């Protein structure tokens, strides 16, 4: 049986990508697959040369930069010498991987949670063979001893709910959108205009993709570009995507605090926010991925703000559900098609944050079991569809020949 090779790389974003690699690898092993890991931080890129000629069921990375390694003397991409389909997971907008995806080996595919990202990849990166829709899985908090035994009992949800410490928590970090604005001011006139109008359009239309916003703002300015030039322009103004993400993240938190709702946040980044001294904002120490699962289990509601995934799903949503916390998140097409607002999730609109705060107050003040019922339904759905085991099974079904 051919093994599966999984890459682990730089511990960026609190090492979440390497956490994904471990979780997916463990899921494959549970399904009877043989898994090998390659740690590029320890073994370095050069060590991959020893893998030339080997054959794998799949070679898998997580927004990996390893696939486009080119051997100029041999005139080939290294991964053309490693047999088997190559699959790179893409969680952020694929414009951030442009420099890599325009130069890729043969037999390379992208797995992504967002159908908009899949369509973007297939349109703008012809070197990619195809895309696979695969959601990141969630994890349950690890239990041991008596707690592990209780996990098997139906009454566990009641015990967990009685011990919850917090009303609403947010494990995301803070980034100041104002820090991105000098990028616009320092650009030459045409770029400044395009970036400013792009940002303004996303602010007014937070329900559409970044590429759609850029297309619309360019059209309003009478600018027509070829597909190649459009990709270059989007690459040049991509910091504006982070800018608008950060803007709405701040507005969501600001709206919650303005209504007197207490919010628990994690990490020193929040000490640099405009409301760091607000009495309703409780700043806790930074948490690891594993520790964040405990936070979710201790929370009645877990806040999520999408990173501009307009048809996507995140591991934070799956993790919250699998740890018996009700997810409160802005909408995406994927979420609206696969979940029901008020039954297994709570959805809000970025343009109507006043409705979001009313929802929070209504559920936190409700003395009955409404939140617990939502959490229980979400848990069942996540356990059935959104664990790494399901992700691994989906990949095995969709693996190219």
Of the chain, the percentage scoring pLDDT greater than 90 comes to 88
Task: Please indicate whether residue 42 or residue 368 has the higher confidence score (pLDDT).
Answer: 42
Residues 57-73: what's their mean pLDDT? 96
**Run of H or E including 294:** helix 289-297
Question: What's the chain's Rg over C-alpha atoms?
Answer: 22
For the cut 80, the answer to whether the pLDDT of residue 14 exceeds it is no
What DSSP character marks residue 55?
B
Q: What is the pLDDT of residues 284-303, one digit of tens each?
A: 999 999 999 999 999 999 99
Q: With the C-alpha atoms ordered 334, 335, 336, 337, is the resulting torsion angle positive or negative? A: positive
For the cut 70, the answer to whether the pLDDT of residue 143 exceeds it is no
State the pLDDT confidence band at 153, using cuts at 50, 70 and 90.
very low
DSSP per-residue codes, 40-95: HHHHTGGGGGGGTT-B-SEEEEES-SSTT-EETTTTEEGGGSSBS-EEEEE-S-GG
For the cut 60, the answer to whether the pLDDT of residue 176 exceeds it is yes
Indicate the range of 81-95, 256-270, 278-292, 358-372 predicted with least confidence: 358-372
Three-class SS of residue 71? strand
Three-class SS of residue 199? helix
Longest dimension (CA), the chain: 71
Q: What is the pLDDT of residues 208-258, one digit of tens each?
A: 999 999 999 999 999 999 999 999 999 999 999 999 999 999 999 999 999
For the cut 50, the answer to whether the pLDDT of residue 154 exceeds it is no
What pTM, to 2 d.p., does this model score?
Answer: 0.94
Locate tokens 């936070």: which residue?
295
Q: Where are the beta strands (DSSP E) in 55-202?
A: 58-62, 70-71, 76-77, 86-90, 108-112, 130-133, 166-170
Cα(399)–Cα(401) distance, integer angstroms:
6
Residues 94-99: what's their mean pLDDT? 97
Q: What is the pLDDT of residue 161?
A: 85
Average pLDDT score, the chain: 94
Q: Which two tokens stand for residue 186?
A: 């320092």
Phi, psi dihedrals of residue 171, rounded to the nearest 5°: -95, 5
Cα(43)–Cα(151) distance, integer angstroms:
39
In the structure, how many helices (H) and strands (E) does the chain have?
17, 14
Indicate the range of 40-49, 263-272, 274-283, 334-343 predicted with least confidence: 40-49
Q: What is the pLDDT of residue 366?
A: 85
């Amino acid at each position: 049986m051919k093994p599966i090779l999984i890459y682990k790389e730089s511990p960026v974003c609190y090492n979440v990508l390497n956490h994904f690699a471990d979780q997916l690898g463990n899921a494959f092993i549970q399904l009877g697959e043989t898994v090998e890991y390659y740690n590029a931080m320890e073994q370095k890129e050069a060590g991959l040369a020893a893998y030339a000629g080997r054959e794998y069921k799949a070679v898998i990375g997580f927004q990996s930069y390893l696939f486009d390694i080119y051997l100029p003397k041999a005139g080939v991409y290294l991964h053309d010498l490693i047999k088997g389909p190559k699959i790179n997971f893409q969680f952020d907008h694929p414009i951030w991987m442009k420099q890599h995806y325009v130069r890729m080996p043969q037999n390379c595919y992208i797995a992504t949670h967002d159908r908009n990202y899949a369509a973007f990849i297939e349109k703008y990166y012809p070197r990619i063979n195809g895309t696979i829709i695969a959601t990141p899985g969630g994890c349950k908090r690890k239990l041991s001893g008596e707690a592990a035994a209780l996990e098997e009992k139906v009454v566990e949800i009641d015990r967990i709910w009685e011990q919850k410490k917090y009303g609403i928590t947010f494990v995301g970090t803070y980034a100041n959108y104002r820090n991105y604005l000098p990028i616009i001011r320092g650009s030459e006139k045409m770029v400044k205009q395009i970036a400013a109008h792009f940002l303004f359009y996303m602010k007014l239309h937070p329900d559409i993709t970044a590429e759609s916003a850029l297309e619309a703002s360019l059209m309003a300015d009478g600018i027509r570009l070829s597909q190649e030039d459009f990709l270059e322009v989007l690459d040049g103004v991509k910091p504006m995507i982070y800018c608008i993400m950060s803007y709405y993240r701040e507005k969501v938190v600001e709206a919650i605090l303005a209504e007197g709702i207490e919010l628990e946040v994690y990490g020193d980044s929040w000490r640099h926010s405009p409301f760091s001294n607000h009495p309703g904002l409780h700043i806790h120490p930074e948490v690891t991925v594993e520790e964040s699962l405990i936070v979710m289990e201790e929370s009645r509601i877990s806040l999520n703000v999408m990173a501009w995934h307009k048809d996507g799903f995140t591991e934070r949503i799956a993790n919250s559900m699998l740890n018996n916390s009700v997810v409160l998140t802005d909408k995406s097409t994927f979420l609206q098609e696969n979940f029901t607002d008020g039954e297994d999730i709570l959805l809000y609109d970025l343009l109507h944050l006043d409705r979001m705060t009313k929802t929070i107050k209504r559920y936190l003040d409700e003395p009955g079991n409404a939140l617990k019922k939502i959490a229980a339904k979400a848990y069942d759905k996540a356990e059935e569809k959104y664990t790494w085991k399901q992700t691994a099974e989906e990949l095995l079904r969709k693996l190219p020949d």
